Amino acid sequence: MAAKKKATTKSVKLVKSLIGCKKDQIATAYALGLHKIGDVSVQPDNAATQGKIKKIIHLIEVTEG
């Protein structure tokens, strides 16, 4: 039998301001549920979330779980 993949999550925290960022980066932060500095969002660890994280990695902190 194949082992089931365990569903994992990532915790994303906005640590830098969105002021001066490109519109698509601001939209990405909002899509992750991050509106102001200090906001934390728990997201599923999938390809879509990883792409969003990669786009704004300079503005956020990411932790497992």
Domain boundaries, the chain: 9-64
Domain boundaries 9-64, CATH class = alpha beta
Per-residue pLDDT tens over the stretch 2-54: 556 666 999 999 999 999 999 999 999 999 999 999 999 999 999 999 999 99
Cβ–Cβ contacts within 10 Å for residue 56, how many?
23
Residue ranges in the chain assigned as alpha helix (H): 23-31, 47-55
Strands 9-14 and 40-44: antiparallel
Q: What is the pTM of this model?
A: 0.86
